[in-house]
A and B are shown apart, each in its own frame.
Chain A
Amino acid sequence: MTALVDAGAPAATRNPPPGTPARTRRRTLRERFPGLALPALVWYAVFMIGPVVAMFVIAFLSWPGMLATPTFAGFDNFATVFSDETFWAATRNSAVQIVVGLPIMIVLAFLLAFYVVQKPRGHRVLRYLLFIPALISAPATAMVFYAMLNPDGLVNGVLRPLGFDGTAWLADPTTALGAIIAVELWSGIGYSAVLIASRLDGVDTEIVSAARIDGADDWRIAWRMYWPIARDFIGVVTMLQFLSMLFNSAQNVLLLTQGGPGTSTTTLAYLIYQKAFVEADLGYSQAVGVILFVIGLLGMGAIRRVLRATH
């Protein structure tokens, strides 16, 4: 590298003047269009944008199975979807998952992050532990919870001596969705906390100690000082977790309950999977895909509005 830079000066004098305009022209073209970005752009268009566009097309086709010939269906798929009980059950489940799960996750993550940045005893161990869920794959997490939540598993093993009757958490319609949400909280809180802590670390400690001298307690410092400062960043983390809950829940549901019992854990994301790969109702599946896409955008907009920076 040094050799290159050193060689720069003599090379400039050696070059004849007529060469200069050509090079300038070439450079301006290069600067106007980033040609080296083209392969990545094409790759990205083929493998990412293409399928999403195809999803919008298939949503308007009647396509009752891989081997059938698709025909144009207009809004028929959407009509079928909206008159289907299962779709509404899935919408309810996704709504519960987001409305209950997301605020709990973000508030707990914020409190945890607030605690960690105060550097209490053991904060290094805490930070190390909080990263754990971010490292583990969905199947590994699901298998551990599958073992813990089965009727003879750890959870019931701990509850029974305490005098509580356990249940088959994943097979009981009243607890199955709660169990799925618990798995998501388990893996989401730690990573969110670490992210929020990275933002809170930047808060000026002098203002905080000044507030303490003025008699502000921890609770007030957390919510009146740290929260407003980190609010826009917490908004970003919330969006991240919102999308992950909305879309990635399909994995946990598939691994733990397959949507059951009945439809009690069928989320919208899982419904897309189930209709496409189990029931081969492709138009229906992709219509739900389009609906979920819209819900995703609306949700992001709402989160942005609620957690917009206020200062």
Chain B
Amino acid sequence: MARRTTTLPMRDRIGSITSGTLAWIYAALLIVPFYYFIVSSFKDNEQIFESPLSLPTTWDLSNFVTAIDQADLWLAIANSVLTTLAALVLTLVLALPASFALARARGRAGKVVEGVFALGFLIPSFAALFPTFLLAAALGLFHTRTFVVFLLPATALPLSIVILTSFMRTIPRELEEAASMDGATSLQVLRQVYLPICIPGIATVLLLNFLSFWNAYLYPLILIGPDTAQRTIQVALPTLKVDAGTDYGVLMAGTLFTLLPVYLVYTVLQRQMQRALLSGAVKG
């Protein structure tokens, strides 16, 4: 880079300086809020207002204790874990056989079914939040986690099926034919031939859906409601914001607490997570 700037004309130097400056300004805009809210979670309102960017004087965890206590965050985390895990399992149970069938189908029907799932990318499910709410009521599952566990997989099916089907298409048909000659049923072929090969695809789908299920907000808000015994972490967090006199330290401590699980997963599985996020949109 340094070598290039010395040999190139003025206009180029300006060009690359601008895009570089731009990039690092944006990077700063990504980091500063993080720094701000992490240090704020150890301060009280007065310190936050007086000296927003200074390091806290004490690393005192009382804001975390208050946040957890005030919004029942442990319970909310437990609810989120439960909802997310159940929805992840259900998504795979539905998407794996479907992708398997679509990858092997050769007729028109297969194409049509695939098209129906692909259309799902266009459905603005948010606009239909109210009918979804009616559906929950009709099933007798209103204000329960159970309904959200049923609903979230449906929102994730189009993308999961597109990704898994494209993985399963790479498996040679001969492998399957050999297995079914041995008398293996479809489900046995799926489990013993297809699944082991599809592990990377399954990992991608799991990570993508983990993010979207864990971070879901409006659906749980409307469908599970304010009941502390049922609500998820995303619904619990904003309750720390009060119209008159929010304790910002507590709010930021709660936010930090909410982000920890996602960061834990991101740090451990950084590469896989990045690949998942990329394939999520490329396929879409």
Which of A47-55, A80-88, A91-99 lies on the face that meets chain B? A47-55
Complex Cα distance A142/B178, Å?
55
Q: Residue of A at shortest CB range from B216?
A: A137
Q: Does A219 contact B (CB under 8 A)?
A: yes
Give 1 or 0 for each of B224-254: 1 = CB within 8 Å of chain A CB.
Answer: 0000000000110110110000101001101
Which of B130, B151, B193, B255 interacts with A144 by CB under 8 Å? B255
Q: B282 contacts A112, CB within 8 Å?
A: no
List residues of chain B with CB within 8 A of the CB of A148: 33, 36
Interchain CB contact under 8 A, A47 and B151: yes
Cβ–Cβ contact A143 & B179, under 8 A: no
Interface size on A, residues (CB 8 A): 108
Bound-state Cα–Cα, A195 to B105, Å: 31
B63: interface (CB < 8 Å): no
When the two chains form their complex, are residues B101 and A34 in contact, meaning their CB atoms are under 8 A apart? yes
B 44-59 to A, binary, CB cutoff 8 A, 1 in contact else 0: 0100110111000000
B25 nearest CB across to chain A (Å): 10
Contact B262 A135 (CB under 8 A): yes
Contact B20 A43 (CB under 8 A): no
B1 at the interface (CB under 8 A from A): yes
CA distance A27 to B30 in the complex (A): 55
Residues of A within 8 A of B196 (CB): 1
Provide the residues of chain B in CB contact with A140, threshold 8 Å: 234, 237, 255, 258-259
Please indicate the chain A residues that have their CB under 8 angstroms from the CB of B158 in the complex.
44
Given contacts A219-B11, A276-B130, contact A137 B183 (CB under 8 A): no
For B94, give the chain A residue with the smallest CB separation.
A40
Contact string against B for A residues 135-153, beta-carbon threshold 8 Å, 1 for contact and 0 otherwise: 1111110111111101011
Does B238 contact A143, Cβ atoms closer than 8 Å? yes
Interface code B155-170, partner A: CB below 8 Å = 1, 0 otherwise?
1011001000000000
Q: Is the CB of A282 within 8 A of B127?
A: no
Q: How far is the CB of A66 from chain B (nearest CB, A)?
A: 9
- Contact status B278-A147, CB under 8 Å: no
Assembled-state Cα–Cα distance A300/B284 (Å): 14
| Number of B residues, CB within 8 Å of A | 112
Q: What is the distance, in angstroms, from A81's C-beta to the closest C-beta of chain B?
A: 14
Q: Which residue of B lies closest to A218 (CB)?
A: B15
Given A34-B104, A135-B211, A272-B127 contact (CB < 8 Å): yes
Q: Is A158 an interface residue (CB 8 A)?
A: yes
Whether B9 is near chain A, meaning CB under 8 Å from some CB there, is yes
With a cutoff of 8 Å between Cβ atoms, the chain B residues found around residue A250 in the complex are 126, 218
A10 vs B69: C-alpha distance in the bound complex, in angstroms? 66
Q: Decide if B130 touches A58 in the complex (CB within 8 Å).
A: yes
Asked if residues A247 and B182 are in contact (CB atoms below 8 Å), the reply is: no
Q: Which residue of A lies closest to B147 (CB)?
A: A47
Instruction: Report the bound CA distance from A152 to B131 in whole Å.
Output: 41
Report the minimum CB–CB distance from B168 to chain A (whole Å).
11
Please state if A247 and B124 are interface contacts (CB–CB under 8 Å): yes
Question: Known contacts being A144-B252, A195-B281, is A31 close to B107, with CB within 8 Å?
Answer: yes
The proximity string for A residues 203-219 relative to B, scoring 1 for CB distances below 8 Å and 0 otherwise, is 00000000000010111
Other A-B pairs, 10, CB within 8 Å; known A55-B128, A137-B258:
A4-B193, A37-B98, A47-B135, A112-B26, A120-B1, A139-B217, A140-B255, A153-B52, A255-B238, A292-B124
Residues on B close to A: CB < 8 A?
1, 8-9, 11-12, 15-16, 19-20, 22-23, 26-27, 29-34, 36-37, 40, 45, 48-49, 51-53, 94-95, 97-98, 100-102, 104-107, 109-110, 113, 116-117, 120, 122-135, 150-151, 153-155, 157-158, 161, 175, 178-184, 186, 190, 192-193, 196, 211, 214-218, 222, 234-235, 237-238, 240-241, 246, 248, 251-252, 254-255, 258-259, 262-263, 266, 270, 273-274, 277-278, 281-282, 284
Q: Which residues of A contact B (CB under 8 A)?
A: 1, 4-5, 7-9, 11-12, 15, 27, 30-37, 39-41, 43-44, 46-52, 54-55, 58, 108, 111-112, 114-116, 118, 120-121, 125-140, 142-148, 150, 152-154, 157-158, 186, 189-191, 194-195, 198, 215, 217-219, 222, 236-237, 240, 243, 246-248, 250-251, 254-255, 269, 272-273, 276-277, 282, 285-286, 289, 292-293, 296-297, 300
